Amino acid sequence: MGAVTWGNGLTGTSGVVSSSNSLIGSTTNDTVGGGGGGCVCGVVALSNGNYVVASPLWERVGGPTDAGAVTWGNGLTGSTGAVSTLNSLTGSATYDTVGGGGVVALSNGNYVVSSPLWDLDGGPTDVGAVTWGNGLTGTSGVVSSSNSLIGSTSYDTVGGGGFNGVVSLSNGNYVVCSPLWDLDGSHTNVGAITLGNGLTGSTGPVTALNSVLGTTSGGGGWGLVYGFDYVHYQLVVGRPGDNTVTWMTVPVLPPTGANTNAFVAAALVFLAVGTVLVATRRRGPRAI
């Protein structure tokens, strides 16, 4: 079932692990605190001293398998008892694996939960969801479009940009990378990059109104470079075809004629003061 136990850093904590001193699962293979695959941590420390526990394989008793749960923990006393929808952010469908994409701590003490395999209720599968969490009180309930940034078509896997799926900026905001996001049925895997509000979160579907989008289906090679200047709320958009760079106010689409054969947000480069560069892939020998 799994257990996550708070320990006193001054005196230590002893005794037998139990529901009275630990956050625990309720069913076999819940593996509370087990985190996601690879190097995705099961317990993430926040800058305010609290912590967040990711349990992507958690399932509600009698409910869907591997719905997943992410639970806020009190850094002064610990959080105890069974993981539930009352104390955790959870999935609602089989294999939603909420938190499976990792939990990212923001510089302002809040956190962001990535769930690339989350399904729309009764709709497309693996659209993905990225959910903001309150670092002082935690965020609980079921992942939905009202509390999360989500995809619209199957396999959009919003926030599924690998270890760069969600990136914390120094100003407290965050960037969501969704390389497999679809523009429409004819333009698949064009990719999207979305700026998230670190104080309140960003919700609803990824669209041209809240994101920078690719325009044609994914290809190979490195190409366009975008940058975000939070102070001026602008994007710098590079066109590899003629080596030009243009400042544009967001939200925007890439410039007309830009060669965007690609996974927008395939990689990120960090700059100072909350700025981020995004490299996208395209076919062709030239890149900025």
Give the tens place of pLDDT for each residue, 258-271: 333 334 443 444 44
* Mean pLDDT calculated for residue range 210-235: 51
Neighbours of 135 (CB within 10 A): 23
Q: What is the pLDDT of residue 185?
A: 83
Q: What distance in Å separates the CA atoms of residue 148 and residue 220, rounded to the nearest whole number? A: 30
Q: Is the pLDDT of residue 279 over 80?
A: no
Proportion of the chain above pLDDT 70, given as a percent: 71
Query: 3-state DSSP: the chain helix, strand, coil percent, rounded to 5?
Result: 0, 35, 65
β pairing state of 51-55 and 69-73: antiparallel
Structure tokens at 205: 């579907």
β pairing state of 267-270 and 69-73: unpaired
| Torsion angles phi and psi, residue 210, rounded to 5 | -125, 5
**222-229: strand order across its sheet:** 244-249, 234-239, 222-229, 276-281, 267-270
* Mean pLDDT calculated for residue range 170-183: 84
β pairing state of 234-239 and 222-229: antiparallel
Q: Is the pLDDT of residue 213 over 80?
A: no
**Sequential DSSP letters for 127-182:** --EEEEE-TTT---EE--TTTEEE-SSTT--TT-SGGGSEEE-TTS-EEEEETT--
* Mean pLDDT calculated for residue range 221-231: 39
Q: What is the pLDDT of residue 7?
A: 97
* Mean pLDDT calculated for residue range 106-122: 95
Per-residue confidence at 61, pLDDT binned at 50, 70, 90?
confident
Q: What does the mean pLDDT of the chain come to? A: 79
Burial (0-12, 13-18, 19+ Cβ within 10 Å), 10 = exposed
Q: What distance in Å separates the CA atoms of residue 149 and residue 261, rounded to the nearest whole number? A: 24
* Closest by Cα among 162, 125, 150, 147 to 206: 150
* Mean pLDDT calculated for residue range 88-103: 96
* Closest by Cα among 189, 200, 192, 188 to 176: 192
Q: What is the pLDDT of residue 153?
A: 96
